[in-house]
Amino acid sequence: MSVVASSVDGVAVAYARQGVGEPTLVFIHGLAGDRTDFEGQMSHFAASHRVVAVDLPGNGESGRDRGEWTMAAYGGDVASVADELGLDDMILVGHSLGGDVSVEAALRLGDRVRGLVWVSSYRSLGNPKSVEQVEEWLAPFRSDFVSASEDLVRRNFGPNADPDLVERVVAKITAADPEIVVAVLAAEQRNEPAVLAALDQIAVPVVAINPDFKPIDESSFASHHVELVVMSGVGHFVMMEDPDTFNHHLTSIVATLAAPA
């Protein structure tokens, strides 16, 4: 069952919460996802932590009445949920573009955030796409949204993924509002410079959990002080493809981030 907060621009932000215990884990889904993408984490970590999963506007049960879709606005949505719940001790866990959103939220939440966990958000850091590259990447989504979206999802699952899971995720993205998804994609594809600038401001640890199914520029993570944890045998949707292994890694990361300084 969801609860609804209101973002600073008046858009309804739905979220679910369970459990007790600090720090609170706040889960932020990726493109065209929703809070159910983290069901395997909510049920697991609620035994020891308060857990919150957000439907970013344009997705799930949240509102769709927004004029401009940006990572900054999404960061404000997460901050609005944290304010609504009075959270002052958090770890933000973001899948894919949810990693970008976690950075924007951390800028707003300050020392209420202990650390960020990026889940398959970047494969390298410090080499952002040019305007021309972004437009070329977006072109198939603008010309045939359903085909491009289905292709994006299918090629980002690992070889051992559950076929039923693949079909569920395909169905979710192809049923989404094309105008919103393309606008969000455009914002996310252009956002790396803002993320890199923000990493120098937020002053909290960042840990990335990445699959190894595509090359990872490990040195670029190290140069930006992002710790890297690599999972094998999975694709982009790591927390859904292998929740047990993912939860094991996240448990260790949370323990480290929650340890007294």
Report field, pTM of the whole predicted structure over 0.95: yes
* b (16+ CB within 10 A) / e for 217-249: eeebbeeeebbbbebeebbbbbbbbbbebbbeb
Q: In this structure, what token pair is assigned to residue 137?
A: 């990447």
Cα–Cα distances in angstroms (integers) from residue 70 to residues 73, 84, 181, 237, in the given order:
5, 21, 11, 22
pLDDT band, very low/low/confident/very high, at 1 (cuts 50, 70, 90) = low
Is 51 buried (19+), middle (13-18) or exposed (0-12) by CB count in 10 A?
A: buried
Across the chain, where does the E strand assignment appear?
A: 3-6, 12-18, 24-28, 51-54, 90-95, 113-119, 206-211, 226-231
| Residue pLDDT, tens place only, 25-47 | 999 999 999 999 999 999 999 99
Place of tokens 């404000």: 76
What does DSSP say about strands 90-95 and 24-28: parallel, antiparallel, or unpaired?
Answer: parallel
Cβ of 259: how many Cβ atoms within 10 Å?
Answer: 8
Is 148 buried (19+), middle (13-18) or exposed (0-12) by CB count in 10 A?
A: buried
| Residue pLDDT, tens place only, 81-130 | 999 999 999 999 999 999 999 999 999 999 999 999 999 999 999 999 99
Domain annotation for the chain: domains and CATH numbers? 3-128+193-258 (3.40.50.1820)
Give residue 242's pLDDT: 97
| Residue pLDDT, tens place only, 11-20 | 999 999 999 9
Q: In this structure, what token pair is assigned to residue 132?
A: 């021309």
Cβ of 91: how many Cβ atoms within 10 Å?
Answer: 25
- Among candidate residues 33, 38, 157, the one with its CA nearest the CA of residue 92: 38
